[in-house]
Every structure is written in C-alpha cells, then in structure tokens.
Structure 1
C-alpha cells in the first residue's frame, strides 16, 4: 500500500492507521482549534491542587473569598489568581454581597466537579501524586 504522506515513516507504522484514512484521516478526526482551546482551558483550570480544592469547597456551598482563603491558608493574591482562572474557565461565578463577594459553582462548574468525583471514586486510577 502506497501512502501519500510521511515518506520517513515506516510503512508498518502507517498501516496501523490505514483504516482511519491514514495520517490525514487521523488528523481530520481531531476536534477543531476552538474545541481544543476549550479543552485546554478545562484541563488547565483543573490542573492545580488549590483550584481543585476550591471547586470541592464550593460543591458544599457558596463561600466568600475570606473563608476560602482561610481554609486553604493562602495569600489574597494567590487566591485571586486561582479564582480568576476558575472564573475564566466558566466554572465559578462571584456575586457581590455588600463589600464582599460570594463565589459559587456554575452549572458547568458542577459538571466539572462531578467529573472530579468520578475520578476520585475510581480505584483503577490508583495514587498518582506528583
């Protein structure tokens, strides 16, 4: 079988993806760039211990920043950074209550938290701490 691309790749390697239309077919099956960007944002938001903890705290109930900060034992600037990432990812929202802000999960944040719960419950994931 002759392939139109990848002249440097062994034919045996290319044959493994022949059923997908070769490398071109495999690449065509990838999500578009906008979808990839959304996936990147999701994974980035969930790729930090503090942000996961914030999501878990907000799963229990909406909280003001001072309670979240005290619970995590971090500085205001560090908390602000993590809250901004979660807000930009669409996972949390802040509502002004006088001079302070109460943060809560969005519908998307609830969905993301449920994914985290499924991963946490799966014993097949093992203990993969860094």
Structure 2
C-alpha cells in the first residue's frame, strides 16, 4: 500500500473558531494524543490498538469516536474489523490556524486615543 500524500500548502478551507475549539478539545486528552501518535505510523486495526495501548475496546472506542467526530480520523470496515487512520488535512488546517495566531499576535498595539 502506498503512503498517502500529506498536504503541505495552504488548505482550501480555513478553520472556523468552533472547528479549532473542537479539534483542540479532542487533542486535550493524553490518551487521545497517544492514539494519534500511534496512528501517525499508519492505518491500524482496532484489535491492534487495544493491545498496543493496553485499553479495553469500549474505552478505546469512546476515544476513537471523539477523534473521528472532531474530524481527525477516518475509518473503514473490512469484515468484522474497523481500521483507523489520521486525516492529515485536518492536522494541516489546525497547524495553519495556529500559525495565523503566531503571525497576528506579533502585531504592535495601535496608540490609544487619549
């Protein structure tokens, strides 16, 4: 299987503040970060994730659902197994949103009308 191309340029859609909040909330849990780090190595089956992360299937499923609903993961079913992978476009969009904060926060203040 060929690796998916990771978008590196500007995305066609800018994140709206509510989308950024949703992504950041999904990323705020240490366990969900571990799941993302595991999936950074490529698509994985739920059965592999439960073993590697030492989680019950119900606990893992809850966190996968949060990440999927935030738009960070996609899934596909093959037989009785579900496979998950990261959605790089969402990570790039969040990166661009954070980059715009960096750019804008460096602007000097305008003078006050005394």
TM-score higher than 0.5: yes
The 1:41/1:63 distance shift into structure 2, 3 A limit, reads same
Residue 49 in 1 paired to residue 30 in 2? Answer: yes
Paired residues, what number? 82
Per-residue CA deviations over 1:28-72 (Å, capped at 9, x if unaligned) read: xxxxxx933212111111111111111111110100011111111
Which residue in 2 is equivalent to 1:95? 76
Q: Could you say which structure has the greater relative contact order, defined with CA pairs below 8 angstroms and 6 or more residues apart?
A: 2
* Distance of aligned partners of 1:47 and 1:110 in 2 relative to their CA distance in 1, 3 Å threshold: same
Distance 1:82 1:35, change over 3 A: same
Q: Which of 70, 78, 91 is equivalent to 2:59?
A: 78
Q: What secondary structure is seen at the aligned counterpart in 2 of 1:60?
A: coil
> What is the aligned-residue RMSD (CA, Å)?
2.4
- Which has more helix, going by share of residues? 1
Say if 2:38 is the partner of 1:38: no
Scaled by the length of structure 2, what TM-score is found? 0.63
Q: Is 1:61 aligned with 2:42?
A: yes
Name stretches of at least 5 consecutive residues in structure 2 with no aligned partner.
1-14, 97-114
Q: Which runs of 4+ in 1 moved over 4 A?
A: 112-115
